[in-house]
Amino acid sequence: MDLEAWKSQLRKGTAELAVLALLTRGERSGIGLLDALAEAPEIGLSEGSVYPLLNRLEREGRIAGQWRTPKTGGRGQKVYALTADGRRALARMRAAWTGFKDQLSTIVGDDR
């Protein structure tokens, strides 16, 4: 069994939920999202997966990005926030996640 391939599929299936949920806490840049995700290493979302996801979510209207330039000049960064559609999508995803997680926990059990 290729455990890493299996874990990769788990990450792909939950990436959108994780990013939208983090944005409920406030707007963040891509780097800010990566920093928050680094605190959950088992989720394992990398720059190579987060930025394409942000682009897709923005195209779909679930998040809105806005370029910000620092007051001291220098390089700006794009900051993302949830849209109303993103909040609705997240609510549906959370409900589906809760049902899925609860049923899978019942099937898998806890071996501790």
Over residues 25-63, the pLDDT tens digits come to 999 999 999 999 999 988 888 889 999 999 999 999 999
CATH 3.50.50.60 fits 3-108, yes or no: no
Is 75 buried (19+), middle (13-18) or exposed (0-12) by CB count in 10 A? Answer: exposed
**Number of other residues whose CB lies within 10 A of the CB of residue 103:** 10
> Which pTM was predicted?
0.87
Residue 74 in this model has a pLDDT that exceeds 80? no
Residues 56-74 have a mean pLDDT of 90
Residue 107 in this model has a pLDDT that exceeds 90? yes
Residue 16 in this model has a pLDDT that exceeds 80? yes
Residue ranges covered by each domain of the chain: 3-108
